[in-house]
Amino acid sequence: MLYVDIPTQPELQNLVSSRHEASVSIYLHTTPETQNIETSRLRLGHMLKEAEEQLEAAGTPKRTIWPIAEQVNDLLDDDGFWSHQANSLAVLVTPDRIRTFRLPNRLPELVQVSDRFHLKPLIRAVSVPQHAFVLALAENEVRLIEVTGDLPAETVRVPDMPKTAADANHTASVNSRSASGRIHASEGQKILLRNFCRQIDAALRPILSGRTEPLILAAAEPLKSIFRSVSSYPHLSEGMIETSPVNETPSALAEAARPILDRLHQDTIRHFHDLFAARQSEGRAITDISDAARAATFGAIDTLLVDIDDVVAGTVDEAGAVTFDAEDNATNYGVVDEIAGRVLASGGRVLGVRRADIPQDAALAAVLRYAV
């Protein structure tokens, strides 16, 4: 199972507001295969040295650099931490604090030093569903399958998960036609299946608590409708694998789930494009970075798409005016990243995508709450 720490909206907002003259952002590739994790540990050591060199070049005092290096080196020595990883790792560190996020996406590696964190890759991990769970549900079989972008699908062990509908109801069969109060015929079967689904939902709660990945249901009627009616997981996908999962392998279920994940992302992008086109005539759709910086500063952006791979170096002042630089260094930061942070701080929505998904092939695109 991938060990992930997806930041919540409040966590992202706290990271956006964090300021320190020596803020280091490191993103590196990792693997959940513990036997192959040493390469990532070595890579983080090299990236730390790169961050130290950037800080030294900016004239940062050694007494400020040392606590940063000490915290990252402590992380490098933590065997327990490295035995539970996902596909990427974000390390955000100042002299006072280190924060890490294990991410399901395969993000580009980078080191950035500034007075604030570089968060676009983290936003990408929140935006694009490449990691999901499939609940394979039948009367005589229940499995939770983890689906990731690069690794084979795996069955997740779920403590207290009922094995069958009959076991959940302490009966020989849920299809018995004998009468016992309300428990008889087809009505009685539905009551027993609903109890079965409630127990499944209860068993899943400790596993899925705090997570945001889609849960995709693979089931046939009547279990399909019954489980949807009792599920408490807020990210149960509308898209489903509408067939009995009996005898289906984890890899087959994962293959059936991936088009659903693709549609979730495509639907989000399509909706944005439609809205962007509708708002252009009202002066509420922009792709210019300077215009977006001003709009974000005054809380005018409702939804922002940003190119996750591009870094536009520079600064944005308190009035939203942009100063562009030829290259990034320890005294500037990613301008688009700063715009995204201001949108999040004002309660707007930010989606990190690829350039091809942005209208007009721009570095960003924004739909405004009102014309500015």
Let me know whether 30 and 106 are in one domain.
yes
DSSP per-residue letters across 261-286: HHHHHHHHHHHHHHHHHHHHTTT-EE
Asked, for residue 276, whether it belongs to a domain, the answer is no
Residue ending a domain, among 244, 267, 290, is 267
Q: Which residues pair with 132 in a beta bridge?
A: 147
Asked, for residue 159, whether it belongs to a domain, the answer is yes
pTM score above 0.75: no
What is the Cα–Cα distance from 340 to 350, expressed in whole angstroms? 6
Q: Is 154 helix (H, G, I), strand (E, B) or coil?
A: strand
CB 154 within 8 A of CB 250: yes
- The residue whose two tokens read 């996902």 is 86
pLDDT of residue 210: 80
Using alpha carbons, select from 303, 336, 278 the residue that is nearest to residue 127: 303
Residue ending a domain, among 107, 127, 147, is 127
Q: Which of 81-95, 107-121, 145-159 has the largest mean confidence?
A: 81-95
The pLDDT of residue 25 is above 90: yes
The pLDDT of residue 184 is above 80: no
Q: Which residues pair with 92 in a beta bridge?
A: 25, 99
CATH code of the domain containing 244: 3.30.420
Structure tokens of 335?
């301008």
pLDDT of residue 212: 79
Let me know whether 82 and 162 are in one domain.
no
Confidence of residue 309 (pLDDT cuts 50, 70, 90): confident
Alpha-carbon distances of 66 from 52, 61, 93, 94, rounded to whole Å: 9, 9, 12, 10
Let me know whether 118 and 136 are in one domain.
no
pLDDT of residue 179: 46
Q: Give the count of domains, the chain.
A: 3
Other Cβ atoms closer than 10 A to 110 = 18
Domain that holds residue 236: 132-267
Asked, for residue 274, whether it belongs to a domain, the answer is no
Helices (H), 87-221: 120-127, 165-168, 185-208
- Give the pLDDT mean for 216-240: 95
Q: What is the pLDDT of residues 152-180, one digit of tens each?
A: 888 999 999 999 999 998 887 777 655 45
Residue ending a domain, among 97, 127, 157, is 127
Let me know whether 258 and 140 are in one domain.
yes
Q: What is the pLDDT of residues 246-293, one digit of tens each?
A: 989 999 999 999 899 888 888 889 999 999 999 999 999 999 999 999
